Amino acid sequence: AEKGQPVGFVDAKTGKLYTVLLPSPGLAKYLEQEVRLTGRVQKETLLAPEKLELKDGETWTAVELPKAM
């Protein structure tokens, strides 16, 4: 992800894989964390995020989305 390869996330409820439509280097630091992405799904497997949250214990904390290129 740090070199620009596409980033995918798996929906914990459905197991479905989504490719995230954001610059992947900006998401690389979150790859090993539990995150919650909300946004619009396009073409069934592409996610255009509007909100990114990180899980910290039992709470979710909003994080600024990486800027689009």
Query: Residue 55: its pLDDT value, please?
Result: 94
Residue with tokens 């073409």: 43
For 20-65, write each residue's pLDDT tens digit: 998 888 888 888 899 999 999 999 999 999 999 999 999 999 999 9
Task: Name 67's Cβ contacts closer than 8 Å, sequence gap at least 6.
Answer: 23, 26
Query: Residue 63: its pLDDT value, please?
Result: 93
Other beta carbons within 10 Å of 37: 19
Other beta carbons within 10 Å of 11: 12
Query: Residue 6: its pLDDT value, please?
Result: 85
**pTM reported for the whole predicted model:** 0.80
